[in-house]
Amino acid sequence: MKKAILERAREVFDVEIEGLVAVRDNLGESFEQLVHRCMDVINAGGKLVFTGVGKSGYIGKKIAATLSSVGSPSVFMHPVEARHGDLGIIQKHDLLIALSYSGETEELLVVLTPAKRLGVELVSITSSTGSTLGKMSDLVVEMPVPREACPFNLAPTTTTTALLALGDALAMVLLDEQGFTKSDYGRLHPGGAIGRMVTMRASDIMRDAEHSAIVDPGTKVRDALFRMSHARCGSAIIVDGEGKLVGIFTDGDFRRWAEKDLSVLEREMREVMTPGPVSIRQDALAVEVLKVLEKRHIDDIVVVDDSGHVCGFIDVQDLPGLKLM
């Protein structure tokens, strides 16, 4: 009798989790050596060259892409194409990392000897040091997996999941070893919203003082509203005689005051403003600005310098145009 759909699906998760735990628990000195060799190569100006066939090849492409995106230069070299000229990808300071769970994949093995003649070290990630691939390698990172999720124990399932996780572990450890930062990440992702959020600063996305409604505490509400309308913003920023932030007055504040006091237009800012409003430094990253806006549930935030002088103003309505939301 066939198993229920969800029961079988959950069983696959259980088998693959079991495999991940086994690989995690098996991590040891060989993985540490791999990290050190990768760092030596990167510091020498080289790159990590991954190679593999079939499902291992697909995972190798993903690992190389992840590593490159977090500061560890990496490429994927297809073994078949390598036999027809792509061996030129490999340079003397590179590290060749071969992926094959069985360690007996013929299309992979035949290209490794000519690759090693180029003077690079060979690291393999495979199931056993006793495999043909393991015996050819300068370093073997064993990845024992109890079983595949496939009922015939044939289709690469648990093994590819474990290999992907091992690649992610390598990428994150190398990220830490290199001191890779959010700003570094942004520099490598200049075309996307993520890149903009971790490279642009508050000073890059704010309206400057000339395009903000900045008034002093003695300004009447009617005059402040005129300034807000002229600047097309929803808040007036109140500063003292030195230009330091002392308060804010929003269009929401005006509506609430008007409901209880029709003469609010003649009141001064010092009477109606919210003192000590939320502000952010001009060198704060855009991602930090978004976090503050979301956490405080506010639509506007004042930008100040190190001394508390107002530099500008960020209106949440401006952010979609900057492709930050």
pLDDT one-digit tens code per residue, 7-27: 999 999 999 999 999 999 999
pTM of the model: 0.72
Domain map (residue ranges) of the chain? 5-180, 198-322
CATH architecture of 198-322: Roll (3.10)
pLDDT of residue 201: 86
Query: Percentage of the chain surpassing pLDDT 90?
Result: 76
For 219-230, the pLDDT digits (tens) are: 999 999 999 999
pLDDT of residue 192: 66
Judge contact between 64 and 36, C-beta under 8 A: no
When pLDDT is cut at 50, 70 and 90, the band that residue 325 belongs to is very low
Confirm or reject CATH 2.40.270.10 for domain 5-180, answering yes or no.
no
